[in-house]
Amino acid sequence: MAAPPLLTLQDAALTFGGTPLITRADLSISPGERACLVGRNGSGKSTLMRIVAGLVEPDRGRLFVQPGTTIRYLAQEPDFSGFDTTLDFVESGLAPGDATHRARYLLESLGLTGAEDPTKLSGGEGRRAALAQALAPEPDVLLLDEPTNHLDLPAIEWLEAELKATRAALILISHDRRFLSALSRATIWLDRGETRRIEQGFSGFEAWRDAFFEEEEREQHKLDRKIVAEEHWLRYGVTARRKRNVRRLGNLQALRQSRRELRRPVGQVSMQAGEAESSGSLVIEARGVSKAYGDRRIVDGLSLRVMRGDRLGVVGANGVGKTTLINLLTGQRAPDAGDIVLGTNLKPVFLDQTRSTLEPGMTVSDVLTGGRGDSVTVNGRSRHVVGYLKDFLFSPEQARTPVSVLSGGERNRLLIARALAQPSNLLVLDEPTNDLDLETLDLLQEMLGEYEGTLILVSHDRDFLDRVTGSVLVSEGEGRWVEYAGGYTDMLAQRGSGVEARAAAGRAKAETKPERSEPRERPAPGKPKLGFKDQHELKTLPGRIEKLEAAIRQLKGILDDPDLYARDPGRFDKASATLAQAETELAAAEDRWLELEMLRDG
């Protein structure tokens, strides 16, 4: 017999400022269960988590927690006030009788000593201390809101292993796909104020969600057709039967009301990078570059070439000098030894992870316009700032909102909006994925895939690195950096291990450190590994892909007509079916092309 749930939430609802945020939320968690809570930014995930933690009282609904159940909640912004040291803060989360040695163990595992002043912690250090406090009592239920934010790869992988070993039931909110897929066994989707649950981990969620939206769209089309039929009857039907006419008119009004009240999914971010003229073929060349601060070597004998169109990921633990390396490669800082050669006609744009360029007193509009007027130039075209902000899911009212009141996700979207508005042929993105929801990450990935310039990306998001980069530059400790072809997963296969924490990396590599790293080797041309038929297919696939893309653009243009369905439902249905088939064929053609390219280069 299954154990009863540790906690249940039934029919919860909450309204903020007259706008319903949560309309009907149901949630339960059983012993040892691992669920992820997903939804768009602003959908109410953190608020729902706070309701479950007992920190927010809903307008309606019932929360029941089994007596004796220990619950720990990790907030996005922990409160350190009143604590002298990080150890004091972590021990405050222990219950009477809990062993204090676990607090020290967790702090040390997360790279802290316990003596740090909580008021002087960086974002990453604060997140580590808050994680230690949540994990210390070994609770029955762990509620974790964005636990990987501000953590580096070693800390993320340590946390993943620790959570896999815990006996606690988990509810996770995270934008890290790899983290969610590894830990979740069920998915709770908060969409337009309601929760839906599937008994699959995150790896199966996105396909299920897309199928749900397709079915919902079909139901909406049926409703639209019914409204059109009723309107036709009212105009041309028999008018003698007055009572029936009145009833059918009432039915039509009810249908229209249903359509008006239908809460559609939150809009999508629309991203397009402003592109400048192409740079030269060579973008950056580092020749024996070294940089140190005192006895600490940041870069030691690095030789590297970045060519136009390359997608280079930079990977390493916090503190190894990734930002310093970027500043060296882009000419913002001079090396102690060696040379940096920058290509011709470079127009770089930088996205700073610290968000230090956002002044709290500035309005959202002023960040984009510089306080000059109400328009912004994107790809040589002047656009009203409110219209451009809508592309990034900002409401018109937020244009005059101070930056200080924006959430972390909104600030990051604003920085991305500003960066993409500037013409560039070199994008340097330092942790662009922080606080973004999964759908926005998808669109950022698509935009970067279409960007014709060169990309340098610093990220701790393993899935994003796999999707975006063509090679990764990894810190091996003691200032040594080595480039590996492919994404993060490819690097693991070649290197045999992930990214170590900075201190451990230094010890492990100290005795084997070579004088300098070399540029990545290009595969030498040799006998092709493809048969004649495969070679012919590889040559013809790009043309087929272009034709499919052109057909898809044409079909989307037809379906963009808002009156098409009412005017010609047959043509609408045919175009929709053809578009779905074309998109399926395009995905298959792209996968086949990639497979053949890998065989040829393998």
DSSP string, 403-425: GGGS-HHHHHHHHHHHHHHS-BS
Calculate mean pLDDT across residues 66-88. 90
Which tokens in the block code for residue 548? 């499919």
Instruction: Read off the pLDDT band of 178 (50, 70, 90).
Output: very high
Residue predicted with more confidence, 271 or 284: 284
Whether residue 508 is predicted with pLDDT greater than 60 in this model: the reply is no
Cβ-based neighbours of 246, under 8 Å, separated by 6 or more: none
Flag the least confident range among 2-16, 213-227, 242-256, 532-546: 242-256
Mean pLDDT in residue range 392-409: 80
Q: How many CB atoms lie within 10 A of CB 276?
A: 18
The 10 Å CB-count burial string (b at 16+, else e) for 319-340 is: ebbbbebbbbbbeeeebeebeb
Locate 97 and state its tokens. Answer: 């009788």
Q: What is the pLDDT of residue 24?
A: 93
In angstroms, how far is CA 474 from the centroid of its own chain? 22
230: pLDDT confidence band, cut at 50, 70 and 90?
low
- pLDDT on residue 59: 93
Residue that wins the pLDDT comparison between 562 and 450: 450
Q: Between 499 and 480, where is the model more confident?
A: 480
pLDDT at 227 over 90: no
Tokens read off for 506: 């230094």
Which one has a higher pLDDT value, 525 or 72? 72
Lowest mean pLDDT, pick from 260-269, 279-288, 336-345: 260-269
List pLDDT tens digits, range 482-500: 999 888 888 888 887 667 6
- Please state whether 567 falls in left (phi above 0), alpha (psi between -120 and 50) or beta: alpha
| Helix, strand, coil share (%) of the chain residues, nearest 5 | 45, 20, 35
- Residue-wise pLDDT for 132-153, tens only, equals 999 998 899 999 999 988 888 8
What is the per-residue pLDDT across 359-375, written as a single tens digit (0 to 9) for each? 878 888 888 888 777 88
Strands (DSSP E) found in 159-310: 169-173, 186-191, 194-198, 282-293, 296-307
Type of residue found at 162: E
386 vs 572, higher pLDDT: 386
List Cβ neighbours of 379 (8 Å cut-off, separation of 6 or more). 272, 274, 275, 423
pLDDT at 239: 46
The residues, any chain, with a CB within 8 Å of residue 331's CB and separated by 6 or more, are 340, 342
> 221 with 72: CB under 8 angstroms?
no
Indicate if the pLDDT at residue 180 is higher than 90. Answer: yes
CA torsion, ordered 473, 474, 480, 482, to nearest 10 deg: -50
- Select from 281, 247, 266, 225 the least CA-distant residue to 453: 281
Report the distance separating Cα 198 and Cα 114, nearest Å: 40
The architecture that CATH gives domain 267-347+423-522 is: 3-Layer(aba) Sandwich (3.40)
Reported confidence tier of residue 512, pLDDT bands at 50, 70, 90: very low
Q: Measured between alpha carbons, how far is 353 from 120 in angstroms, rounded to an integer?
A: 19
DSSP 515: S
Q: Does the structural domain 7-207 have CATH classification 3.30.70.2190?
A: no
Quote the Cα angle for 261-392-315, to 5°.
130
Least confident of 87-91, 217-221, 499-503: 499-503
Please report the pLDDT score of residue 277 as a whole number: 64
Residue 393 near residue 420 (C-beta atoms within 8 A): no
Bridge-partner residues for 457, per DSSP?
313, 429
d(CA 536, CA 274): 36
Using left for φ > 0, alpha for ψ between -120 and 50, and beta otherwise, residue 174 falls in: beta
At residue 301, does pLDDT exceed 90?
yes
If you average pLDDT over each of 101-105, 193-197, 355-359, which comes out highest? 193-197
Q: Is the distance from CB of 600 to CB of 531 less than 8 angstroms?
A: no
Residue pair 426/386 in contact (Cβ under 8 Å)? The answer is no
- Name which residue leads in pLDDT, 73 or 540: 73
Q: Mean pLDDT in the chain? A: 81
Residue 255 tokens, joined = 């249908």
| Cα-only R_g, the chain | 27
Class of domain 532-601: mainly alpha
Task: Give backbone dihedrals phi and psi of 36, rounded to 5 degrees, phi first.
Answer: -110, 145
pLDDT in the model for residue 467: 87
How many CA atoms lie less than 13 Å away from 438 in the CB half-sphere?
23
- Residue 598: pLDDT band by 50, 70, 90 thresholds? low
For residue 149, the tally of other CB atoms under 10 A from its CB is 19
User: Which pLDDT does position 524 carry in this prediction?
Assistant: 40
Q: Is residue 265 over pLDDT 70?
A: no
Which of 230, 135, 209 shows the shortest CA–CA distance to 437? 209
Residue 55: pLDDT over 50: yes
Q: Read off the pLDDT of each residue in 101-118 and give the average, rounded to a whole number.
A: 90
| pLDDT confidence of residue 501 | 61
Whether the predicted pLDDT of 458 surpasses 70: yes
Count how many Cα atoms sit within 13 Å of the Cα of residue 578 in the half-sphere of its side chain.
18
Share above pLDDT 70 across residues of the chain, in percent, rounded to a whole number: 81
Question: Is residue 601 predicted with pLDDT exceeding 60?
Answer: no
State whether residue 265 is helix, strand or coil.
coil
With a CB cutoff of 8 Å and minimum separation 6, the contacts of 362 are 371, 402, 403
For the beta carbon of residue 307, count every other beta carbon within 10 angstroms. 15
- String of b and e for 22-52 (b: at least 16 CB within 10 Å)? bbebebbbbbebbbbbbbbbebbbbbbbbbb
Task: State mean pLDDT over 310-327.
Answer: 90
Res. 91: pLDDT tops 70: yes
Model pLDDT, residue 258: 57
Measured CA to CA, the distance from residue 268 to residue 247 in angstroms comes to: 39
Answer whether residue 428 shows pLDDT above 60.
Answer: yes
Q: In the predicted model, is pLDDT for residue 242 greater than 50?
A: no
pLDDT of 275 reads 57
